[in-house]
Structure 1
Amino acid sequence: MKILFIHGLASSGAYRMASTLRILFKESEVIAPDVPIEPDEALALLQGICRDEQPDLIVGHSLGGYWAQKLRGFRKILINPELHVSRFLRQRIGTMEYLSPRRDGALSFEITGEICDGYEALEQTEFDGLTPEEIALTTGVFADRDELVDCREEFEGIYPGRAHIFPGGHFPNFNQIKQHIFPIIGQTIKE
Protein backbone atom coordinates (compact mmCIF):
# COMPACT_ATOMS: atom_id res chain seq x y z
CA MET A 1 0.00 0.00 0.00
CA LYS A 2 1.15 3.54 -0.79
CA ILE A 3 0.33 6.37 1.65
CA LEU A 4 0.88 10.04 0.84
CA PHE A 5 1.38 12.05 4.03
CA ILE A 6 0.88 15.83 3.77
CA HIS A 7 2.27 17.81 6.71
CA GLY A 8 0.91 21.01 8.21
CA LEU A 9 2.14 24.58 8.34
CA ALA A 10 5.76 25.14 9.42
CA SER A 11 6.51 21.45 9.09
CA SER A 12 8.09 19.03 6.64
CA GLY A 13 8.03 15.47 5.37
CA ALA A 14 10.24 14.65 8.38
CA TYR A 15 7.40 15.50 10.78
CA ARG A 16 6.94 12.83 13.44
CA MET A 17 3.51 11.81 12.11
CA ALA A 18 5.15 10.57 8.90
CA SER A 19 7.58 8.52 11.00
CA THR A 20 4.69 7.18 13.06
CA LEU A 21 2.86 6.09 9.91
CA ARG A 22 6.00 4.28 8.75
CA ILE A 23 6.19 2.44 12.08
CA LEU A 24 2.49 1.52 12.19
CA PHE A 25 2.25 0.60 8.49
CA LYS A 26 5.53 -1.32 8.18
CA GLU A 27 4.55 -2.98 4.90
CA SER A 28 3.52 0.30 3.28
CA GLU A 29 5.43 2.97 1.41
CA VAL A 30 4.90 6.38 3.03
CA ILE A 31 5.58 9.30 0.69
CA ALA A 32 6.14 12.49 2.70
CA PRO A 33 7.27 15.49 0.64
CA ASP A 34 8.25 18.91 1.91
CA VAL A 35 5.31 21.00 0.72
CA PRO A 36 6.01 24.63 -0.27
CA ILE A 37 4.05 27.41 1.44
CA GLU A 38 3.14 29.03 -1.91
CA PRO A 39 -0.31 27.65 -2.77
CA ASP A 40 0.12 27.18 -6.53
CA GLU A 41 3.47 25.41 -6.04
CA ALA A 42 2.05 23.21 -3.28
CA LEU A 43 -0.99 22.17 -5.30
CA ALA A 44 1.10 21.43 -8.41
CA LEU A 45 3.55 19.32 -6.37
CA LEU A 46 0.79 17.31 -4.69
CA GLN A 47 -1.21 16.80 -7.88
CA GLY A 48 1.97 15.60 -9.60
CA ILE A 49 2.70 13.12 -6.80
CA CYS A 50 -0.86 11.80 -6.97
CA ARG A 51 -0.66 11.47 -10.75
CA ASP A 52 2.71 9.71 -10.70
CA GLU A 53 2.43 7.62 -7.51
CA GLN A 54 -1.34 6.88 -7.36
CA PRO A 55 -1.45 6.61 -3.55
CA ASP A 56 -3.96 4.23 -1.98
CA LEU A 57 -4.50 6.67 0.88
CA ILE A 58 -3.73 10.33 1.57
CA VAL A 59 -3.28 11.43 5.19
CA GLY A 60 -3.18 15.18 5.75
CA HIS A 61 -2.61 16.99 9.05
CA SER A 62 -3.82 20.58 9.61
CA LEU A 63 -2.83 22.54 6.47
CA GLY A 64 -2.09 19.11 4.98
CA GLY A 65 -5.74 18.25 5.60
CA TYR A 66 -6.75 21.23 3.50
CA TRP A 67 -4.54 19.97 0.66
CA ALA A 68 -5.74 16.38 1.01
CA GLN A 69 -9.34 17.57 0.76
CA LYS A 70 -8.57 19.21 -2.60
CA LEU A 71 -7.07 16.05 -4.13
CA ARG A 72 -10.16 14.50 -5.69
CA GLY A 73 -10.55 10.83 -6.46
CA PHE A 74 -8.38 9.46 -3.64
CA ARG A 75 -9.29 7.93 -0.28
CA LYS A 76 -8.18 10.43 2.35
CA ILE A 77 -8.00 11.09 6.09
CA LEU A 78 -7.95 14.72 7.25
CA ILE A 79 -6.51 15.07 10.76
CA ASN A 80 -7.44 18.36 12.43
CA PRO A 81 -7.81 20.03 9.02
CA GLU A 82 -7.71 23.79 8.59
CA LEU A 83 -10.38 24.54 5.99
CA HIS A 84 -9.81 28.33 6.03
CA VAL A 85 -6.09 28.61 5.44
CA SER A 86 -6.10 32.25 4.28
CA ARG A 87 -7.82 33.43 7.48
CA PHE A 88 -5.41 31.36 9.62
CA LEU A 89 -2.33 32.66 7.75
CA ARG A 90 -3.40 36.32 7.80
CA GLN A 91 -3.00 36.21 11.58
CA ARG A 92 0.59 35.01 11.11
CA ILE A 93 2.03 37.27 8.40
CA GLY A 94 5.79 37.49 8.76
CA THR A 95 8.67 35.08 9.22
CA MET A 96 8.05 31.70 10.83
CA GLU A 97 10.54 29.00 11.76
CA TYR A 98 10.08 25.43 10.60
CA LEU A 99 9.25 22.97 13.38
CA SER A 100 10.88 20.00 11.66
CA PRO A 101 13.88 19.76 9.32
CA ARG A 102 13.42 20.40 5.61
CA ARG A 103 15.34 18.57 2.91
CA ASP A 104 16.59 21.86 1.48
CA GLY A 105 17.94 22.95 4.88
CA ALA A 106 15.62 25.96 5.14
CA LEU A 107 15.06 27.06 8.73
CA SER A 108 12.31 29.62 8.18
CA PHE A 109 9.77 30.86 5.64
CA GLU A 110 7.80 34.02 4.97
CA ILE A 111 4.01 34.37 5.05
CA THR A 112 3.00 37.32 2.89
CA GLY A 113 -0.26 38.96 1.95
CA GLU A 114 0.17 37.58 -1.57
CA ILE A 115 0.40 34.02 -0.22
CA CYS A 116 -2.75 34.61 1.83
CA ASP A 117 -4.50 35.97 -1.28
CA GLY A 118 -3.47 32.85 -3.20
CA TYR A 119 -5.05 30.59 -0.59
CA GLU A 120 -8.17 32.76 -0.48
CA ALA A 121 -8.56 32.39 -4.26
CA LEU A 122 -8.25 28.59 -3.98
CA GLU A 123 -10.78 28.52 -1.16
CA GLN A 124 -13.42 29.93 -3.51
CA THR A 125 -13.61 26.49 -5.18
CA GLU A 126 -12.60 24.39 -2.17
CA PHE A 127 -15.73 22.25 -2.10
CA ASP A 128 -16.56 22.25 -5.81
CA GLY A 129 -17.04 18.85 -7.39
CA LEU A 130 -18.01 17.04 -4.21
CA THR A 131 -20.03 14.08 -5.42
CA PRO A 132 -21.47 11.46 -3.05
CA GLU A 133 -18.57 9.21 -4.13
CA GLU A 134 -16.00 11.89 -3.24
CA ILE A 135 -17.64 12.49 0.13
CA ALA A 136 -17.43 8.74 0.82
CA LEU A 137 -13.67 8.86 0.13
CA THR A 138 -13.08 11.53 2.80
CA THR A 139 -12.82 10.95 6.56
CA GLY A 140 -12.13 13.63 9.16
CA VAL A 141 -10.42 12.99 12.49
CA PHE A 142 -10.71 15.76 15.07
CA ALA A 143 -9.10 16.29 18.46
CA ASP A 144 -11.57 17.05 21.23
CA ARG A 145 -9.21 19.74 22.59
CA ASP A 146 -7.65 21.26 19.46
CA GLU A 147 -5.98 24.47 20.57
CA LEU A 148 -5.32 25.83 17.03
CA VAL A 149 -8.06 24.82 14.61
CA ASP A 150 -11.74 23.96 14.93
CA CYS A 151 -13.37 23.09 11.61
CA ARG A 152 -15.24 19.98 12.79
CA GLU A 153 -18.73 21.46 12.64
CA GLU A 154 -18.17 22.78 9.12
CA PHE A 155 -16.64 19.46 8.04
CA GLU A 156 -19.66 17.57 9.40
CA GLY A 157 -21.97 19.84 7.39
CA ILE A 158 -20.08 19.10 4.16
CA TYR A 159 -19.17 15.47 4.89
CA PRO A 160 -22.08 14.17 6.99
CA GLY A 161 -21.30 11.07 9.01
CA ARG A 162 -17.59 11.17 8.06
CA ALA A 163 -16.11 12.73 11.26
CA HIS A 164 -14.42 10.95 14.17
CA ILE A 165 -13.28 12.47 17.47
CA PHE A 166 -10.18 11.48 19.45
CA PRO A 167 -8.96 12.65 22.86
CA GLY A 168 -6.10 15.07 22.40
CA GLY A 169 -4.88 18.31 20.91
CA HIS A 170 -3.87 19.65 17.51
CA PHE A 171 -0.56 17.75 17.43
CA PRO A 172 -1.35 14.12 18.29
CA ASN A 173 1.47 12.15 19.88
CA PHE A 174 2.52 8.60 19.01
CA ASN A 175 0.17 6.96 21.53
CA GLN A 176 -2.84 9.01 20.39
CA ILE A 177 -2.11 8.13 16.77
CA LYS A 178 -1.63 4.45 17.61
CA GLN A 179 -4.66 4.11 19.91
CA HIS A 180 -7.18 6.38 18.20
CA ILE A 181 -6.18 7.40 14.67
CA PHE A 182 -4.52 4.17 13.46
CA PRO A 183 -7.75 2.14 13.89
CA ILE A 184 -9.69 4.79 11.93
CA ILE A 185 -7.12 4.63 9.14
CA GLY A 186 -7.35 0.83 9.14
CA GLN A 187 -11.13 0.98 8.96
CA THR A 188 -10.99 3.57 6.16
CA ILE A 189 -8.64 1.41 4.10
CA LYS A 190 -11.12 -1.48 4.27
CA GLU A 191 -14.11 0.63 3.10
Structure 2
Amino acid sequence: MSNPLFGIDTDRGMFRRYEDPLYLLGCSLPDDPDGLLLGLVSEGVRRLRQLDRFYSEAWMCVNRAVAVQQLAEADREKFSSSKPTLQQAIDDATDAAEAFYLFGFRLFDITRILQTKCNANLQIVEPKNFNHVRNHLIIHPERYKQELLWSAHVTNKDGRGVVIKIKRTKTRHPITHDPGLGPNATELQEYIERWIIQFSEHLSRAT
Protein backbone atom coordinates (compact mmCIF):
# COMPACT_ATOMS: atom_id res chain seq x y z
CA MET A 1 0.00 0.00 0.00
CA SER A 2 1.36 3.44 -0.93
CA ASN A 3 1.83 6.13 1.68
CA PRO A 4 -1.16 8.53 1.36
CA LEU A 5 1.03 11.38 2.64
CA PHE A 6 3.90 10.78 0.22
CA GLY A 7 4.93 13.97 -1.55
CA ILE A 8 2.77 16.41 0.41
CA ASP A 9 3.95 20.00 0.08
CA THR A 10 4.45 21.38 3.58
CA ASP A 11 4.87 24.88 2.11
CA ARG A 12 1.20 24.92 1.15
CA GLY A 13 0.13 25.56 4.69
CA MET A 14 -0.59 23.77 7.92
CA PHE A 15 -3.84 22.30 6.57
CA ARG A 16 -3.86 22.85 2.80
CA ARG A 17 -0.99 20.35 2.55
CA TYR A 18 -3.64 17.64 3.01
CA GLU A 19 -5.77 18.68 0.02
CA ASP A 20 -4.23 16.16 -2.42
CA PRO A 21 -4.27 13.22 0.02
CA LEU A 22 -7.93 13.92 0.74
CA TYR A 23 -8.74 14.10 -2.99
CA LEU A 24 -6.99 10.75 -3.49
CA LEU A 25 -9.07 9.21 -0.72
CA GLY A 26 -12.13 10.35 -2.65
CA CYS A 27 -10.94 8.24 -5.60
CA SER A 28 -10.82 5.15 -3.38
CA LEU A 29 -14.28 5.46 -1.84
CA PRO A 30 -16.83 2.65 -2.32
CA ASP A 31 -19.75 2.94 -4.75
CA ASP A 32 -21.51 6.21 -4.09
CA PRO A 33 -24.57 6.53 -6.36
CA ASP A 34 -25.90 9.61 -4.53
CA GLY A 35 -22.55 11.39 -4.51
CA LEU A 36 -22.75 11.95 -0.74
CA LEU A 37 -19.26 10.68 0.04
CA LEU A 38 -17.60 12.65 -2.74
CA GLY A 39 -19.53 15.71 -1.65
CA LEU A 40 -18.18 15.33 1.86
CA VAL A 41 -14.64 14.96 0.55
CA SER A 42 -15.02 18.09 -1.58
CA GLU A 43 -16.34 20.02 1.40
CA GLY A 44 -13.46 18.71 3.50
CA VAL A 45 -10.96 20.09 0.99
CA ARG A 46 -12.67 23.48 1.15
CA ARG A 47 -12.55 23.41 4.95
CA LEU A 48 -8.79 22.77 4.82
CA ARG A 49 -8.35 25.99 2.86
CA GLN A 50 -10.55 27.88 5.30
CA LEU A 51 -8.55 26.62 8.26
CA ASP A 52 -5.29 27.97 6.88
CA ARG A 53 -6.94 31.26 6.02
CA PHE A 54 -8.42 31.92 9.46
CA TYR A 55 -5.44 30.50 11.35
CA SER A 56 -3.11 32.88 9.50
CA GLU A 57 -5.51 35.77 9.98
CA ALA A 58 -5.76 35.09 13.71
CA TRP A 59 -1.99 35.11 14.13
CA MET A 60 -1.61 38.28 12.06
CA CYS A 61 -4.06 40.03 14.40
CA VAL A 62 -2.38 38.55 17.50
CA ASN A 63 0.99 39.93 16.44
CA ARG A 64 -0.57 43.31 15.65
CA ALA A 65 -2.21 43.45 19.08
CA VAL A 66 1.03 42.53 20.84
CA ALA A 67 2.94 45.19 18.88
CA VAL A 68 0.38 47.87 19.77
CA GLN A 69 0.46 46.84 23.43
CA GLN A 70 4.25 46.98 23.57
CA LEU A 71 4.30 50.45 22.02
CA ALA A 72 1.68 51.67 24.46
CA GLU A 73 3.59 50.28 27.43
CA ALA A 74 6.77 51.97 26.22
CA ASP A 75 5.01 55.32 26.04
CA ARG A 76 2.36 55.61 28.76
CA GLU A 77 1.08 58.89 27.32
CA LYS A 78 -0.04 57.04 24.20
CA PHE A 79 -1.72 54.23 26.15
CA SER A 80 -5.22 55.76 26.12
CA SER A 81 -5.09 56.59 22.42
CA SER A 82 -3.89 53.05 21.65
CA LYS A 83 -6.78 51.33 23.43
CA PRO A 84 -9.23 51.34 20.47
CA THR A 85 -6.58 49.97 18.07
CA LEU A 86 -5.53 47.33 20.58
CA GLN A 87 -9.11 46.23 21.26
CA GLN A 88 -9.86 46.04 17.53
CA ALA A 89 -6.84 43.80 16.97
CA ILE A 90 -7.91 41.54 19.85
CA ASP A 91 -11.47 41.40 18.50
CA ASP A 92 -10.22 40.55 15.00
CA ALA A 93 -7.95 37.81 16.35
CA THR A 94 -10.79 36.36 18.41
CA ASP A 95 -13.20 36.42 15.46
CA ALA A 96 -10.69 34.61 13.24
CA ALA A 97 -9.97 32.06 15.96
CA GLU A 98 -13.69 31.43 16.47
CA ALA A 99 -14.11 30.84 12.72
CA PHE A 100 -11.15 28.45 12.83
CA TYR A 101 -12.78 26.40 15.58
CA LEU A 102 -16.14 26.31 13.81
CA PHE A 103 -14.77 25.22 10.41
CA GLY A 104 -12.28 22.90 12.07
CA PHE A 105 -15.04 21.11 13.94
CA ARG A 106 -16.99 20.73 10.72
CA LEU A 107 -13.95 19.04 9.16
CA PHE A 108 -13.68 16.80 12.22
CA ASP A 109 -17.37 15.98 11.83
CA ILE A 110 -16.83 15.09 8.15
CA THR A 111 -14.14 12.57 9.10
CA ARG A 112 -16.55 10.89 11.50
CA ILE A 113 -19.35 10.74 8.93
CA LEU A 114 -17.04 9.20 6.33
CA GLN A 115 -15.90 6.61 8.87
CA THR A 116 -19.49 5.67 9.63
CA LYS A 117 -20.58 5.52 5.99
CA CYS A 118 -17.57 3.35 5.08
CA ASN A 119 -17.80 1.11 8.16
CA ALA A 120 -14.33 2.13 9.26
CA ASN A 121 -13.56 1.38 12.89
CA LEU A 122 -10.50 3.57 13.33
CA GLN A 123 -8.53 3.80 16.54
CA ILE A 124 -7.67 7.49 16.64
CA VAL A 125 -7.45 9.76 19.64
CA GLU A 126 -9.79 12.68 19.00
CA PRO A 127 -8.51 16.29 19.34
CA LYS A 128 -9.71 16.67 22.91
CA ASN A 129 -8.57 20.20 23.72
CA PHE A 130 -9.67 21.52 20.33
CA ASN A 131 -13.14 20.01 20.74
CA HIS A 132 -13.40 21.24 24.33
CA VAL A 133 -12.83 24.84 23.33
CA ARG A 134 -15.30 24.63 20.47
CA ASN A 135 -18.03 22.67 22.27
CA HIS A 136 -17.88 23.74 25.89
CA LEU A 137 -16.48 27.24 25.78
CA ILE A 138 -17.54 28.84 22.49
CA ILE A 139 -20.71 27.07 21.36
CA HIS A 140 -22.47 25.74 24.45
CA PRO A 141 -21.16 27.38 27.64
CA GLU A 142 -24.72 27.70 28.94
CA ARG A 143 -25.01 23.91 29.22
CA TYR A 144 -22.42 23.85 31.97
CA LYS A 145 -23.51 25.60 35.14
CA GLN A 146 -19.93 26.31 36.19
CA GLU A 147 -19.18 28.08 32.90
CA LEU A 148 -21.00 31.36 32.30
CA LEU A 149 -19.31 33.65 29.79
CA TRP A 150 -16.08 33.61 27.84
CA SER A 151 -13.60 36.16 26.70
CA ALA A 152 -10.19 35.94 25.12
CA HIS A 153 -6.73 37.34 25.49
CA VAL A 154 -3.90 37.15 22.99
CA THR A 155 -0.22 36.37 23.32
CA ASN A 156 2.56 35.36 20.98
CA LYS A 157 4.47 33.62 23.77
CA ASP A 158 4.91 29.84 23.58
CA GLY A 159 2.94 29.78 20.31
CA ARG A 160 -0.37 30.12 22.16
CA GLY A 161 -2.08 32.87 20.15
CA VAL A 162 -5.71 33.38 21.13
CA VAL A 163 -6.54 31.93 24.54
CA ILE A 164 -10.15 31.49 25.65
CA LYS A 165 -10.86 32.50 29.23
CA ILE A 166 -14.08 31.60 30.96
CA LYS A 167 -15.96 33.11 33.88
CA ARG A 168 -17.23 30.53 36.32
CA THR A 169 -19.52 30.34 39.28
CA LYS A 170 -18.09 28.99 42.50
CA THR A 171 -17.62 25.29 41.94
CA ARG A 172 -15.56 22.35 43.03
CA HIS A 173 -15.28 21.10 39.49
CA PRO A 174 -11.74 21.21 38.09
CA ILE A 175 -11.08 24.08 35.72
CA THR A 176 -9.97 23.11 32.24
CA HIS A 177 -7.53 25.61 30.81
CA ASP A 178 -7.35 26.40 27.11
CA PRO A 179 -3.81 25.69 25.85
CA GLY A 180 -4.36 28.29 23.12
CA LEU A 181 -5.04 28.41 19.42
CA GLY A 182 -1.54 27.28 18.43
CA PRO A 183 -1.47 24.02 20.43
CA ASN A 184 -5.10 23.28 19.56
CA ALA A 185 -4.42 23.77 15.83
CA THR A 186 -1.46 21.38 16.07
CA GLU A 187 -3.68 18.85 17.85
CA LEU A 188 -6.27 19.08 15.05
CA GLN A 189 -3.58 18.82 12.37
CA GLU A 190 -2.14 15.67 13.97
CA TYR A 191 -5.62 14.16 14.14
CA ILE A 192 -6.24 14.87 10.43
CA GLU A 193 -2.92 13.32 9.46
CA ARG A 194 -3.54 10.15 11.49
CA TRP A 195 -7.08 9.96 10.13
CA ILE A 196 -5.92 10.15 6.50
CA ILE A 197 -3.40 7.36 7.09
CA GLN A 198 -5.80 5.04 8.91
CA PHE A 199 -8.77 5.74 6.64
CA SER A 200 -6.59 5.06 3.59
CA GLU A 201 -5.53 1.74 5.13
CA HIS A 202 -9.16 0.84 5.72
CA LEU A 203 -10.15 1.63 2.12
CA SER A 204 -7.22 -0.45 0.82
CA ARG A 205 -8.32 -3.46 2.86
CA ALA A 206 -11.94 -3.03 1.79
CA THR A 207 -11.16 -3.14 -1.97
The TM tier, using the shorter chain, reads under 0.3
* Structure that is richer in strand per residue: 1
Give TM-score, length-normalised by structure 1. 0.25
* Structure that is richer in helix per residue: 2
Give TM-score, length-normalised by structure 2. 0.24
Q: Which has the larger radius of gyration?
A: 2
